[in-house]
Structure 1
């Protein structure tokens, strides 16, 4: 028996319970992984609250990413072996001391990347990669706006986009977070609690506005995000930390400049093994080179996941957070 966080009914952080569970031996195509670190992400709160339904129903174990050591493999598994250090994103169920994972979702952690860094960067880092290199191809000519610049994805995007030569504008909610964003690649930082971000974007860009806006905030930044885009610009809505957008009007895109809008998810961009390997390898490379530094700013014991969720939703965290079994 091992311990895991289990959710029997959706709701606030306190619905998560620390329980003993049996996971058994790996089946065909599976590997058993003993976690050394587990990533905490805002999407975890969506499944816990019921905003996103758990694919396998109730009860379930939250968590989308982790790192650890392979302890056993099932029939037909050739890409990993017992003793390998591995990391992964998905499927749901990482808030556990050990678990079974489809082996084709595992990637080997290279030398020079520690387990906590790997656990905390897979979802956020691969999200940054697809946003900057696939959803919109960022170049030195790009001016972009990224909401929640001091968050886990935001700090990675700031560094990576700066390395690509872009003009990087970010929004934050405090003076402390503004300093953090500036230290991580942001050319301009807007404190949305004291400034109107639409007006400031106009000022910063001399009225030219942005090529692309990356928006994981949702309700509080809509439709303002659309007003930060130049004609034919792209609005990338990839989260909803302030709540879902319930009144999206497709017709708005026309008069606001024939804008484009997309709602991407990482899991589409890494659905194939080849895409997963390409995305992970790009991420590992920029981290190993030092171009992107992953800041693990908070650690919680796995059994204290309730506190971790409370702090995450209370905007008390910055950068990357990991849970340690």
Structure 2
């Protein structure tokens, strides 16, 4: 498995596994542990979380599995996100979903994530969504306190536009290490709004969430021309799945994109790893782009 360096002493597996839907997979604790071990065997050592996933349950489900075999912690990297507050039992009395990037909330949720995940240190903590009420100085205070206490190694953002990323970076005494963006042939806007370009400029690896458009690639009629093109290229490279070709398309970009696979089926995860063996030609890359856009380049 290829690895991508974020800092001198932290690297991620080129393919990341996302735990957004862990609560939906109906796995026992032992089955969750086995799944994590299978990912590690495939070379996937980086796992992506958020405090809100599964209605604030997914981190705990992962932590339950890790408690069965604590020594696995030394073999993996854990990313998690915070900054969204959802209504429900976890936040009694709250009547509206909203963002919260106050120092108190960031620190409280990071400490909760440590407990839920059964770990002593988060490898990378991200601000989940841009907060229009964010005070970048207050976020910097929270990040600095968590870093100095040893509770978080590195920090980044998720779904942030270049101006938002630059604003937060301007207040920090250390570099943000990643931006997690929705990227795929079905979601091209960040290739066009400067978000990918800024990460590339900063030599910052970026993470791509929902590379298969949440599974809509396989079923929605709007994507039929794209599916046809992906099937043609898959046959050309002797691979079985169009998902493998989509991952290869992201991997081929020079900005060092790390696709996040969100499936609880190990065969789907294997399809993602298989993409590392595919070398798309420049023409094939643009062939996919044309099918996604529905038009040729200008």
What is the TM-score of this pair, normalised by structure 2? 0.29
More strand by share: 1
More helix by share: 2
